[in-house]
C-alpha cells in the first residue's frame, strides 16, 4: 500500500466508511444482513490495524494520527452499536431496545473516551505511574511480588 500513495490517515477514513456500511447492514435486523454487517465490521477492524502498521512501516507516525486513529476506533464502535440497536428493534419491535441500545452506546463510548483521555494525559505529562483513583495492589506470595 505504501507504493500507492495511500496514507495511514486515508486508511483510517476508509475504515470509518466500512463501519458505516456494516452498521447499515445491521439495521435491517435479519440474519443474512447481520452476517454481511459482521463481514464489513471485520474489514473495518482489519483496515484499522493496517493503518497503524502502515504508519510505522512508512515512518509516517504522528501525534495527530494517533489521536485520529483513537477517535475513529470510538466512531466505529458507535456506528456498529447504533446499527445493532436498530436491527434488534426491528426484530423485536419493543422501543425499550432503543433505550437500552442508547444506554449501551453512551456507556461504551464515554468509558472509551475516559480511558483515552487518561492515557493521552499520561503520555503528555510523561508519567510512568498509573493515573488510577485506586492505587495498584500487587499480590504477594511468601513476601515476593507476583507480576
Question: Which tens digit of pLDDT belongs to each residue from 62-77?
Answer: 888 888 888 898 899 9
Percent of the chain whose pLDDT exceeds 90: 48
Phi, psi dihedrals of residue 145, rounded to the nearest 5° = -70, 145
Show the cell assigned to 66: 494517533
CATH code given to domain 2-128? 1.20.120.1760
Whether residue 134 is predicted with pLDDT greater than 80 in this model: the reply is no
Whether residue 125 is predicted with pLDDT greater than 90 in this model: the reply is no
Q: Are strands 140-141 and 144-145 parallel, antiparallel or unpaired?
A: antiparallel
What is d(CA 28, CA 88) in angstroms, rounded to the nearest whole number?
9
* pLDDT the model gives residue 129: 63
HSE (side-chain half, CA atoms, 13 Å) at 21: 16
3-class state of residue 141 by DSSP:
strand
Q: Which residues pair with 144 in a beta bridge?
A: 141
Amino acid at each position: 500500500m505504501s507504493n500507492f500513495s495511500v496514507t495511514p490517515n486515508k486508511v483510517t477514513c476508509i475504515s470509518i466508511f466500512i463501519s458505516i456500511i456494516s452498521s447499515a447492514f445491521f439495521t435491517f435486523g435479519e440474519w443474512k444482513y447481520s452476517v454481511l454487517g459482521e463481514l464489513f465490521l471485520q474489514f473495518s477492524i482489519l483496515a484499522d490495524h493496517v493503518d497503524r502498521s502502515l504508519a510505522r512501516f512508512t515512518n509516517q507516525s504522528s501525534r495527530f494520527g494517533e489521536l485520529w486513529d483513537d477517535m475513529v476506533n470510538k466512531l466505529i464502535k458507535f456506528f456498529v452499536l447504533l446499527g445493532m440497536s436498530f436491527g434488534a428493534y426491528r426484530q423485536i419491535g419493543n422501543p425499550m431496545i432503543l433505550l437500552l441500545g442508547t444506554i449501551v452506546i453512551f456507556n461504551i463510548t464515554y468509558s472509551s473516551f475516559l480511558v483515552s483521555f487518561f492515557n493521552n494525559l499520561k503520555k503528555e505529562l510523561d508519567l510512568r505511574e498509573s493515573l488510577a483513583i485506586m492505587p495498584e495492589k500487587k499480590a504477594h506470595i511468601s513476601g515476593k511480588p507476583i507480576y
